[in-house]
């Protein structure tokens, strides 16, 4: 088979794959590519979560852990109720929610794995300060899981890897040769700077917006969201990379965007009363 015909077949096959795998993110309706099994990713995440629980030091601050669990439960219920009332399939229906508090005072972070596995580090409590602040952070991390960002990233990575393999084949192995000669992962650099970072910033901004919605639906004061990022900006003063090199929006852009969207969220997504 000649090269032109092969490329033609590959293009048709990939086009069919893309068309059949395009979905939309909940609420924002942003188009997404999903070619990786969500169930498989959730299972992998759950296994990693168990290893993290074994290796990391869990905090003995039961009061804060209980607060995290209470916030989480409110969000679990309000998110499911919102989608039920909207007549939309609940994206969390297969989640197995779990919450841990990791004792690391120098780590100002939190995350939510696919399937609802959540971790909060004690270091971020310096920025959250209060229940509404903690809810804002958790809402943002839960939004990543609800919007299936990990599935989307894994799908995009799979597509990129397939694409770069084809480029290497049709460049006569020159891409691999460059990697061997320079010792630099050219594909990784292209992916990081030219493709995945702008895409990740979209996910982060989407998680900011959805996080505010979930916090509001759960009855928390989302005005605290901006205050958190103002505090984070102060705590990270001089340590933030330029936005074009980062997977996250800059603090200034984040604060501006949150302020612009806050009024609409308060009006359109008031607290949900669950009987």
Q: Tens of pLDDT along 27-80?
A: 999 998 888 889 988 999 999 999 999 999 999 999 999 999 999 999 999 999
User: Alpha carbon of 229 to those of 33, 64, 213, 233: distances in Å?
Assistant: 30, 21, 17, 6
Rounded to an integer, the average pLDDT of 126-139 is 97
Please provide residue 256's backbone torsions phi and psi, each rounded to the nearest 5 degrees: -60, -45
Q: Which helix (H) or strand (E) holds 40?
A: helix 38-55
Determine the Cα–Cα distance for residues 230 and 227; give it in Å rounded to an integer.
5
Q: Which residues contact 103 (CB under 8 A, 6 or more apart)?
A: 56, 57, 58, 59, 60, 61, 122
Determine the Cα–Cα distance for residues 214 and 212; give it in Å rounded to an integer.
6
Residue with the two structure tokens 């990129």: 160
Residues that are catalytic = 141
First to last CA, the chain: 65
Residue 14, pLDDT > 50, answer: no
Task: Fill in the DSSP letter of residue 185.
Answer: -
β-strand partners of 102: 58, 121
Q: Which of helix, strand or coil describes residue 11? A: helix
Determine the Cα–Cα distance for residues 44 and 175; give it in Å rounded to an integer.
31
Determine the Cα–Cα distance for residues 176 and 165; give it in Å rounded to an integer.
9
Angle at 160 (CA atoms; ends 158, 165), nearest 5 degrees: 100
% of the chain residues with pLDDT over 70: 74
Give 79 or 2, the one with higher predicted confidence.
79
Tell me what pLDDT residue 195 has.
41
Residue 165, pLDDT > 70, answer: no
Rounded to an integer, the average pLDDT of 237-241 is 68
The rounded mean pLDDT for the chain is 82
Residue 248, pLDDT > 50, answer: yes
Residue with the two structure tokens 């103002």: 230
Determine the Cα–Cα distance for residues 79 and 207; give it in Å rounded to an integer.
14
Output the pTM of the full model: 0.79
Tell me what pLDDT residue 71 has.
98
pLDDT in tens, 252-271: 889 999 999 999 999 999 99
Please tell me the chain's helix, strand, coil percentages from 3-state DSSP, rounded to the nearest 5.
65, 10, 25
């Amino acid at each position: 088979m000649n090269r032109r015909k092969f490329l033609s077949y590959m293009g048709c096959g990939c086009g069919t794959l893309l068309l059949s795998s395009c979905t939309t993110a909940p609420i924002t309706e942003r188009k997404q590519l999903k070619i990786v099994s969500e169930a498989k990713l959730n299972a992998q995440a759950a296994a990693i979560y168990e290893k993290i629980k074994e290796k990391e030091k869990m905090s003995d601050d039961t009061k804060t852990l209980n607060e995290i669990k209470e916030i989480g439960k409110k969000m679990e219920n309000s998110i499911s109720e919102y989608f039920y009332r909207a007549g939309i399939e609940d994206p969390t229906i297969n989640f197995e929610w779990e919450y841990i508090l990791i004792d690391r005072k120098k780590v100002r972070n939190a995350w939510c794995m696919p399937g609802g596995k959540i971790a909060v580090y004690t270091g971020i409590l310096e920025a959250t300060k209060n229940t509404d602040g903690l809810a804002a952070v958790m809402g943002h991390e839960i939004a990543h899981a609800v919007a299936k960002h990990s599935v989307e990233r894994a799908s995009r990575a799979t597509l990129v890897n397939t694409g770069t393999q084809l480029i290497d084949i049709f460049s006569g192995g020159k891409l691999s040769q460059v990697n061997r000669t320079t010792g630099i992962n050219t594909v990784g650099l292209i992916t990081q700077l030219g493709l995945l970072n702008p895409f990740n910033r979209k996910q982060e901004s989407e998680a900011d917006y959805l996080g505010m919605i979930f916090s509001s639906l759960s009855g928390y004061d989302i005005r605290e969201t901006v205050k958190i990022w103002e505090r984070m900006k102060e705590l990270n003063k001089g340590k933030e990379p330029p936005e074009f090199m980062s997977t996250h929006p800059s603090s200034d852009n984040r604060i501006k965007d949150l302020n612009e969207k806050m009024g609409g969220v308060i009006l359109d997504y008031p607290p949900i009363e669950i009987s």
